[in-house]
Structures are given as structure tokens and as C-alpha cells.
Amino acid sequence: MPTLAIIIVSWNVRELLRRCLRSVEESLTGSDIAHEVIVVDNASADGTPEMLRTEFPEARLIEPGANLGFAAGNNLALAGLGLGVGDWGLGVGHTYQLPTPNPQPPTPDYVLLLNPDTEVVGDAIAQLVAELESRPELVAVGPRLRYGDGSVQSSRRRFPTRLSMLWESTPLERAWPGNPWARRYRCEDVPDDVAQPVGWLVGAALLVRSSAIARAGLLDERFFMYSEELEWQCRLQIADCRLQIGSAQSAIYNLQSTIVYLPEAEIIHYEGKSSEQAITRRHVSFQRSKLLLARMWFGWGFANMLRAALRMGYAYEIAAEAGKLAIGHRPDLRRQRIGVYRQVLREL
């Protein structure tokens, strides 16, 4: 009988979390998977802990008392499962207490990292577990993600290159949406209804083999939000990949992937509902994480060039929004965006 721990890091999304947990229960009903659900609540102010204690008493609740972000929040739960700390783990002095009568529960075979703004469709979790059960060479597998309107979310990725970092999710991409570097990075040359090996998968729903975590270590907490799952999935596949990329870079790009995208399993992702509550922080966290990864993979020189390009991009966005404001087009929205972009410029 396979064993599974489902880890959900939540912040002020009580209603979505309730829906998520109910979908998990329904998905696993009748399966032979022994499972537990662990919710790390990052100091929500919307009654999330009370809801969990009342409606889902079987879920294990961890309350760190602060918003630790995605990486550190997941690490609290992973460490509680007996998965090692190591150089990439909790070495920042976090303390927590697991509310369980068994202080050392057995480590499960698999760990599912699941966003609270997701809804499991059918037996998707069992399908993911079956894939890892039948393919011992794999370290992780992920489903096809769909938005709430049913459209497919782009979740497949190759490892980034310098060009893809410049051309993907930047103002440059808006100038040339069909550029080949961003398309290749997002695996757009392969249909999304075909099972396929990938460099990494968006971390909204990712099933990982526990033995791979034990070898690679926990998530890197220098990433508060964004890019942490990219860096982690690299390490899951190359356990000694300290991302001092220089000589190891070719090994990463020639890597025979051990992470698979499984479109038969589907999960709905109401994307970004936690980060929507702090739009400026979302922009800052995304770009800071991108710059940190650029420095780790490609060095300070490229990271500084990327920072300059991003700053020019945000300056352009401010000018564009100011022009629209000058002609009276949706003035409240324009002022909001100008304020966000100015704050991002100050913090990059």
C-alpha cells in the first residue's frame, strides 16, 4: 500500500482551501493510498485555522505564526515528516510544533505539494501515485493544470537559458510574444495532451518521491516565492547540483529528465489567489527570485544585465501607463499600476 503526505501552504484563502480539501477527500475515496494532509497556515487572518480545526480535524495543522512564503512553509512540513534539513533546508532558525501524538511519524513514500487554490479532478492523485509506483526511475510527476474556466494553464518547462530569462515574462516578451526562446522554455513545441519528460513543472501540484527529497534536500528558502520549485526540481534530478553552474551547466541541459508531465491527471488551479492580495509583493518576489536564480546559474554579470533590462522594462511600463492616464483612460487602474511599478523599481 503506497503512503502519501499532502502538503498545502495557505495564506488567507479559507474558502478556496475548503474546496481544495474536499476535492482531495473525494479524489482519494476508495483508493488504497494511505494518506495524511498537512496544512501550513502562514498566519492567515481570515479564520483558516478555526475552519480547519472544525471541519477538517484529521488534517495536521502547522502554524508558524508568520508568512514564511512557499519554500519555508513546505520545509516545515517536510522536516516534520523526517525528510532531512541539509544545507538547503531550514538553516534559518525556524521553530514549530507538530500537533500530533506521534512526534516521529514514518516517512511516506510520496509527498504531494499542492496549492490551496487548486481543486483535484476525479482520481488525479491516484493516477500520479500510480505513475511513480510503476516507474521507479522517476523522481516527480505532475498533472495537467486547468484554469477555473477550463482552459489549459501552461505548466511545462525546460530549464531556462540566458535568452529565455530575458525574453520570458518580461516587457521584451510583450514586444515579441512569439519569440522562440520563450516558446521553447514553455515546451510549446510539444502538445499539452501528450505525456512527456520535462525539465520542471509549475509547483501548484507536484508529486515527489520521498527518497529523492532525502538525497537532494529541502527547498531553498532564499526564494520567498517563485523559482523555488525550478531550483528544487533541478536538484531532485541532479542531487549534487549546487547551482554553481559553470562546469555543471552542460550536465543540466543534457540531463535525461526524471520528471514527467501526465496530462491524464488534471487539477484545476485558480491561480494566484494568495498573491493577488499583495500585487506589489507578487511583482517584487517574482523578479527578485528570477534575479537570484540568474546569479546562481549564470553569475553576477548576467544577473546585473538582467536587472538592468527589468528596470528598463518597468520604466517603460510606467511611461505607458502615464500616457494612458493623461488621456483619462481608466484612471484608477493607471494610478494603481504606476504605484506598483514604481515600488518594484525601488526594490529591484
197 backbone φψ class: left, alpha, beta (φ>0; ψ -120 to 50)? beta
What share of the chain has pLDDT > 70, as a percent? Answer: 87
Provide φ and ψ at 261, rounded to 5°: -95, 125
Cα distances from 10 to residues 40, 113, 173, 188, 340, in angstroms, run 6, 12, 31, 31, 24
C-alpha cell at 69: 512564503
Cα dihedral: 16, 74, 198, 193 (round 10): -20
- Lowest pLDDT segment from 138-142, 149-153, 272-276, 283-287: 272-276
Instruction: Give pLDDT tens digits for 161-175.
Output: 999 999 988 878 888
Domain spanning 3-273, CATH architecture? Alpha-Beta Complex (3.90)
Return the pLDDT at 90. Answer: 38
Looking only at the bridges linking them, the beta strands covering 34-41 and 118-120 are unpaired
Cα distances from 222 to residues 90, 195, 318, in angstroms, run 11, 32, 29
Instruction: Give pLDDT tens digits for 238-268.
Output: 863 443 444 445 556 666 789 999 999 999 9
Domain boundaries, the chain: 3-273, 299-347
pTM: 0.89
Of the chain, the end-to-end C-alpha distance in Å amounts to: 49
- Residue 105 DSSP class: P
Q: Are 77 and 97 in contact (CB under 8 A)?
A: no
